Structure 1
Amino acid sequence: MSQIVQTDFDWTLPSRDYRDPAVYERERQEIFARNWMLFSWSERLKQPGDYVTGTVAGYPVFVIRDDAGGIRAFHNVCRHRGAQLLTEESGHCGKLVVCPYHSWSYTRAGRLNKASDFGSDATFDPEAWSLYAIDAEEWRGLIFVRLKADGPTLVEWLGPIHAMAESYPLEQQHYFMSKNRDCAVDWKTYGENYLECYHCRTMHPGLCAAMDIENYRIDTYQKERFFHLHAPKREGGLTRGLYFYRFPFLMLNLYDWGSSIATIEPLGPGRIKHINWYFFNDVSPEKAEENRKSVAWSAEIVSEDLDIITGVQRNLDAGIYERGPLSPKYEMAVKGFQDMVREDLGGSRPLHSIAAE
C-alpha cells in the first residue's frame, strides 16, 4: 500500500484518544474538573432554597440559592453514607437540605446542621462535616461550576469574551426551551466539527443560505483558549450575531433578540449529552411560533452535524482509521483545539511527516 509523503501537514489526534477509557479519565481530572462548566441559568434559582441538580463530568452536584441570595454548589452526596441528598431535577428545599436516607441535615451554606438520632455521645464538628463544596459563579444570568477549587475567576476564565459580549442583552432574555440529546460521539469529535466549516457546503444548505460562507472564518485565541467564529449574514438574514467556542465545550451564539447557548456533558469515552438552551427577549405567546421556528432552524443544523459525526465516531471506535491530515485552509482552529487538549494532558505528541497507510 502506498504512502503519502507530505512535510507540512498537521495531523489529527490518534483515533485511540477518542475511545480510550484511560484517556477519558485523564480528561475528567485535567480538563473537565479544572475548567468552569456551564450548569444552569439564574431564573431557575429565584429564591433562597431553590436548587438545581445535575451531573458534571460524572459527578452528581447541585447548586442552591443561599440565605444571602448568592449561589453555592456542592457534590450531591451526604457525608454519612453517601446518599444522594436532592433527587429532583430542581425544586425548593426549605431552610435545610435533609438527606432522604438517614435524615442528616445541612444548611444552605453546606454546614452540617444535625446528625439525626445518631446515638451514644458522638459529636461532629459542623465545619469538618460540611458538604463537599465546589466553585460556583453567575455571569449575566448563567450559572457555572468548577469541580477543582483555585484558579481564575469566571470572568477571568471567559477572558475577552466578557467584554466582547457586553453589548448583547443577555440579562433581558428569558428561557424559552431546551433541546438535549445523548449521542454516541466523543466530546473532541463534536468540538472539532464545530470548529471548521470545511463541511458546511456539503452538510448545511440552510446555514449556507443564511450566512455568507465564502467569508466565514474562525479566529483562534490560543492563550485565552477560545475561538471567535465569524459568519457574516446574507442580505435579509439574521441581525448581527456574536459566536464563541470557549474550550473545552462552551458555545455562545448571541443575538440582539435572543441566544442559543450550548454545552457538552461528557458521559464517557465516545459519549456525550449535547445540551442546547434557547433564550429570547420576547417569550410571550404571540412570539411563540416565531421562536419555535428559530429553534427548529438551529436544531436542524445540530442534527446535520450529529448525523455525520456519529458515523465518524463509529469509525474511530472500529480501529481501521488511525489519523488524518488537517487542512491548512479550513482546519487551523481544529489544530488549535487539539493543541489545547494536548497541553492540558501534559504535553504534545510530535507531528509526523508521513501519513498512515
Structure 2
Amino acid sequence: MLNLDPRLYVDPAVFGRERDTIFATAWQMLGPAAQVAGRGQYVAADLAGIKVFAIRGRDGVLRAFRNVCRHRGAKLLEDGTGRCATIRCPYHQWVFADDGRLLNAPWFGEEPGFRPEDWPLEEIHAAEWRGLLFVAVDPREDLLAQLGALVEELADEPIETYQAVRSETVSFDANWKIYTDNFVEGYHIPGIHPKFFAAIDFEAFETTAHKGFVRMTAPPREGLFYRGKWLWMWPNWTLSLFAGGMNTSRINPVAPARTEQLYHFYFADLSPERDESRSDTIARNLAVVREDYEICAATHRNYEAGNYRAGPLSPRHEQGVHYFQERVRESLGR
C-alpha cells in the first residue's frame, strides 16, 4: 500500500474536483439537530466553498437550501446559527420565505413575464439521525447508506441523549486530506502526543476500516478523559467518546492549503456544579487536537515543494489511511 500522490494534496484543480465529486455528493454533518429544533432556527455553513443553510419552517418541516440569492448570487445568511421569520438578501433586499418561496423583489421594476414563483431558493437535502443534523447538495446515496456500518456501531451508545454545550472552530495551514490521513491512524501518537501516549496501552492500539467509517480503539490508563474509542466517518466528520459525553467535528476544506475543524461538545450532565469539569474536558480535547497542526502544516509544505514521493503505509496502523485514500481515489476517478 502506497500513500496518495502528493500532487493530489496541493493541486488547485484537484481541490475543485473534490468540491464537485466529494463534498457536493456526500452528506455533511453540521452538528446537533437541536440547532434547528425551533421554528425559524437555522444553521448556515460552508461545505468546501459551497454555501448552504438548513432551517426549520413555520410548518415544522426541516429544509435546506443553497445559501445564495436567486437574483445576483449574494450570500443570504452569515455562517453560524440564528433565527429568522423570512430570509432577506443583504444586497438588493429580495425576501424569501422559510420554505424557499420568493415573497418580494422590491424596487425591481416592471419586467414582462417576471413571476416570483419562478425564482425560489434552490433546495437541497436535509436529514436528522440520532440527534445530529445532516445536509447534502446532490447526494449519491441516502444518509443511512452513507453511514453504513456506523449505524450498528453506535446502536448501544445513547448519543441522542447528550446535549450540545459548546462549539469551537479551529483552523490550520494544510490540506484537509493531510489532516484526515493523520486522524485515521494512531501511528503518530508516540511522536506527536506524548501525554496521550502515556495514558493509553499503545501496544493494544487497533485501527480497523468498515463500511462508511474507521474505528480506532486503545485501552485507556488512569487519567485519560477519552473512553478509548475514536471514529471517523466518510468523507469528513469525526465522533470521539469520553466519560459522560462526546465530541463531533467536521473537517472542512477552505482552500488547498487551509482547513477548518468545526467542533461540538456534548454532555449528559448539564448541572452547574459540573461546569468546571465540562470546561476541563473541552480544553483537554482541543489541546490534543492542536498538537497535530504543526506536523500537518510541515507535511503540506513538503508536498507543495515537490520534496516528497509517495511512501509505504503500515499494514498494522494505517488501514484507516488506506481506506480513506481509496475512497478519495474512487471519487476522483483515479
What TM bracket, shorter-length normalisation? over 0.9
The Cα of 1:189 is off from its aligned counterpart by 0.4
* 1:243 corresponds to 2:230: yes
The Cα of 1:225 is off from its aligned counterpart by 3.0
- The match for 2:200 is 211
List structure 1 runs of 4+ shifted beyond 6 angstroms.
none
Deviations 1:286-334 (A, max 9, x none): 1111111111221121111112221111111122212222222322321
Distance 1:156 1:332, change over 3 A: closer
Secondary structure of 1:298's aligned partner: helix
2:149 to 150, 160, 169: 160
Give the distance between the partners of 2:177 and 2:329, measured in 1 at CA: 12
Distance 1:194 1:281, change over 3 A: same
Residue 168 of structure 1 contacts residue 256 of structure 1 at CA under 8 Å; is this kept in 2? no
Give the distance between the partners of 2:3 and 2:72, measured in 1 at CA: 45
* 1:173 corresponds to 2:168: no
- Greater shift, 96-105 or 272-281, is seen at 96-105
Q: What 5-or-longer segments of structure 2 have no aligned partner?
A: none
Secondary structure of 2:265's aligned partner: strand
Q: How many corresponding residue pairs?
A: 334
Give the distance between the partners of 1:62 and 1:236, measured in 2 at CA: 40
- The match for 1:84 is 75
The Cα of 1:266 is off from its aligned counterpart by 0.4
Distance 1:216 1:88, change over 3 A: closer
- Greater shift, 229-238 or 68-77, is seen at 229-238
The Cα of 1:218 is off from its aligned counterpart by 1.0
* 1:19 corresponds to 2:40: no
The Cα of 1:240 is off from its aligned counterpart by 4.6
Output the amino acid matched with 2:213: F
TM-score by length of 2: 0.93
Deviations 1:154-211 (A, max 9, x none): 2221122122212222222122222322211111101111121122112212222332
Residue 171 of structure 2 contacts residue 259 of structure 2 at CA under 8 Å; is this kept in 1? yes
Distance 1:120 1:239, change over 3 A: closer
2:179 to 168, 190, 210: 190
- The match for 1:280 is 267
1:101 to 88, 91, 101: 91
Secondary structure of 2:287's aligned partner: helix
The Cα of 1:229 is off from its aligned counterpart by 1.4
Give the distance between the partners of 2:225 and 2:51, measured in 1 at CA: 38
Residue 184 of structure 1 contacts residue 270 of structure 1 at CA under 8 Å; is this kept in 2? yes
- The match for 1:350 is none
1:296 to 264, 278, 283: 283
Secondary structure of 1:100's aligned partner: coil
Residue 57 of structure 2 contacts residue 98 of structure 2 at CA under 8 Å; is this kept in 1? yes
Output the amino acid matched with 2:303: L
Give the distance between the partners of 1:45 and 1:264, measured in 2 at CA: 21
Distance 1:320 1:256, change over 3 A: closer
- The match for 1:111 is 101
1:316 to 303, 310, 315: 303
Give the distance between the partners of 1:206 and 1:344, measured in 2 at CA: 37
- Greater shift, 15-24 or 109-118, is seen at 109-118
Give the distance between the partners of 1:25 and 1:239, measured in 2 at CA: 36
TM-score by length of 1: 0.87
Give the distance between the partners of 1:47 and 1:199, measured in 2 at CA: 43
Q: What 5-or-longer segments of structure 1 have no aligned partner?
A: 1-9, 348-357
Greater Rg, structure 1 or structure 2?
1
Output the amino acid matched with 1:33: A
1:201 to 190, 211, 222: 190
- The match for 1:351 is none
RMSD (Å), alpha carbons: 2.0
Give the distance between the partners of 1:262 and 1:114, measured in 2 at CA: 37
Residue 88 of structure 2 contacts residue 95 of structure 2 at CA under 8 Å; is this kept in 1? yes
Residue 215 of structure 2 contacts residue 231 of structure 2 at CA under 8 Å; is this kept in 1? yes
